[in-house]
Amino acid sequence: MAVYSKSGEILQTVYGADGYALAAAYNKAGEQIHPDGPVSLRVCSYNVGGWYIGSGTNVPANLDASFYALQDGMISAIDADILCIQEYWSVFSKTGRTAESLLSQYYPYRQSADGSAQYTGRAICSKYPIISYTQHTFTGESRYYDCAVINIGGTLCHVFVTHLHPSDQSAKIAEATELFNYIQAQGIERFIVCGDFNSTLYDPMSQTNIGIYKQFLDIGCTIANDGAFGILPTACNSASWANDKFAIDNIICSSGITITEVATNLSKTTNADVLAANKIDHVPLFADVEI
């Protein structure tokens, strides 16, 4: 990658006086490159299921306190720098135990949109400043691809949250293509796409699902789920994850963003069957990346 001065001239020397840190340098778009080289951060995609397995009435009152504590513990333990939420719903069943009260503990920058139904709600939460936030719906759909431009130590990154159609394969591919075309039309080079892609069953990269991701892979993107780190189930539709598990959530990173680790919180913070019993049909997928 060429390194430029602010006036657009290519720099011959990019190291500071100590021989390690980058001197003041910019990319061709005039965006300052982080002075300490790559920035490491954790990105998380989480379909919260309307916070309670898609319930439009939210968490039952008798489970409100324990469910809030469960979500609080998971989000705290993962400690993502950027958290992208699908099926966002702004309230729990009691005043004071809202999504805002939970997320504001960890994220100073938040943008969200409740939907007309819980599956259309979305949020992007960040420990880094959100410069702008735009909301988009797919053509003829209520599903979405929202974008936050986030300033990560002087480097701007476009972070998308999306939720594709749950069952119609042609619709999923059309939606993914519409998102891809938007990124290309806007000339966005550095981006991360988090979401519930509904790339059904165990294998996101199967012949059935390849159309969702192929266009991104063709321009040098990498994916967290079913990429170099293997297939990670993130959703469950029955009482036990052992019997019913789906790798339908994913994180796409553009070229220039390196995925160094991928995990769900199944092995990190919680027991899978406890989650199912507590009415969580998805678990967070997170990726450690270097920008």
Cα angle vertex 146, ends 142, 147, to 5°?
165
pLDDT band for position 15 (50/70/90)? very low
User: Sorting pLDDT into bands at 50, 70 and 90, what band is 270?
Assistant: low
For the stretch 66-124, pLDDT in tens is 889 889 988 999 999 999 999 998 888 888 899 999 999 999 999 999 877 768 999 99
- pLDDT surpassing 70 at residue 228: yes
- pLDDT, residue 208, reads 65
Does residue 19 carry a pLDDT above 70?
A: no
Delimit the domains of the chain by residue range: 1-37, 40-290
pLDDT at 104: 96
**What pLDDT does residue 67 have?**
87
252-280 average pLDDT score:
79
Helix axes 169-185, 210-218, angle to 10 degrees: 20
pLDDT of residue 18: 43
pLDDT band at 8 (very low <50, low <70, confident <90, very high): low
Give the span between the Cα atoms of 25 and 14, in whole angstroms. 7
Neighbours of 137 (CB within 10 A): 15
Is 85 in contact with 93 (CB distance < 8 Å)? no
Which region among 30-44, 118-132, 158-172 has the lowest average model confidence (pLDDT)? 30-44
179-213 pLDDT, tens digit each: 999 999 999 999 999 999 998 666 666 666 778 99
Amino acid identity, residue 139? T
Judge whether residue 24 has pLDDT over 60: no
pLDDT confidence band for 177 (50 / 70 / 90): very high
* pLDDT above 70 for 217: yes
Cα–chain center distance at 157: 13
pLDDT mean across residues, the chain: 84
What CATH fold (topology level) applies to the domain 40-290? Deoxyribonuclease I; Chain A (3.60.10)
Return the structure tokens found at 46.
Answer: 């989480």
Count the Cβ atoms, other than its own, within 10 Å of residue 157: 27
**Distance of CA 212 to CAs 164, 168, 173, 289, Å?**
10, 12, 5, 22
pLDDT band (50, 70, 90) for residue 235: confident
13 pLDDT band, cuts 50/70/90, is very low
